[in-house]
Amino acid sequence: MDRKVALAIVALAPLVVLPCLGSPALPAQVALALALAALPPALVALGAARGGRLDGILRWACVGLFLLLAAGLLALIALHEHPQALFAGVPAALLVLLGGLWGAPIVLVLWVYTARFGAFGIRGADLERLRALRRSAEDG
């Protein structure tokens, strides 16, 4: 089920991106931001699903990544009208770029990838099975 949802998102997102890239209207920008935020976690889910399903923590991490990216990109749209908005003496848009779109996602993604590798990554048993297949093919 998880993989099917991910595939549907990956198939639909470019259909949103194509027309919205050509439109300066606010709704098009918002749709573009949401499509761009949805693509990376959907691709992660597609690559990480085993037997069509995602590990529970990974599923929440994908939702978290979507929320972080969507919040960051939508915040940039909102701040477009207020480029001088400051937070702690630094422009808010710069903080969104550095903290919301760079810092927070990298911590989330690298932690989940490294810590949950056993749930979606390469296991010794997979390697043994594939190497046995290769040996049997070579033996004819």
Partner 1 sequence: MSALGGRPWILIVAGLYLAATLAIGFWALRRTRSAADFFVAGRGVGVVAAGLATMSAAFSGFVFLGGPGLTYRLGLAALMINVPVSFTGALLAWVIGKRLRLLAEVREVFTVPDAFRVRFGSRAASGLAATAVLVGSVGYLAAQILALGVLGENLFGTRELLGAWSLPVVMAIGTVVVTSYCVAGGMVAGVYTDVFQGAVMVGAATAVFVQCLRVGGGLGEMTRAIAASPRFGAGFLDPLGGAGAAAAFGFFFVFGIGVLGQPHMVHKFLMLRDPERLRYLPLVLGVAQSLCLLIWLGIGLAVPALVARGAMPPLGQPDDAAPAFLLGFAPQWLAGVVFAGALAAIMSTASSLLNLGAAALVRDVPRACGRRIGDELGAGRLATVGLAIVAAAVAWGYGDLIALLGTFAFGTFAAALGPALAIGLNWRRVTGRAAAASVAVGLFANLGLELLQRWRPAALPALRPGVPASAVALAASFVTLFVVTALDRRAVELPADVAAVLEV
Segment 9 to 28, residues that bind partner 1, using CB under 8 A? 10-11, 13-15, 17-18, 21-24
94 binding partner 1? (CB under 8 A): yes
Instruction: List Cβ neighbours of 76 (8 Å cut-off, separation of 6 or more).
Output: 33, 93, 96, 97
63 binding partner 1? (CB under 8 A): no
* DSSP code per residue over 95-129: HIIIIIIIIHHHHHHHHHHHHTHHHHS--HHHHHH
54 binding partner 1? (CB under 8 A): no
Q: How far apart are CA 93 and CA 86, in angstroms?
A: 8
Q: How far apart are CA 24 and CA 101, in angstroms?
A: 22
Pair 77, 33: CB distance under 8 Å:
yes
80 binding partner 1? (CB under 8 A): yes
97 binding partner 1? (CB under 8 A): yes
79 binding partner 1? (CB under 8 A): yes
Q: Please state whether beta strands 90-91 and 86-87 pair in parallel, antiparallel, or not at all (unpaired).
A: antiparallel
Interface residues toward partner 1, by CB under 8 A: 7, 10-11, 13-15, 17-18, 21-24, 29, 32-33, 36, 39-40, 43-44, 46-48, 50-51, 65, 73, 76-77, 79-80, 83-84, 88-91, 93-94, 96-98, 101-106, 109-110, 112-114, 117, 120-124, 126-127, 129-131, 133-134, 137
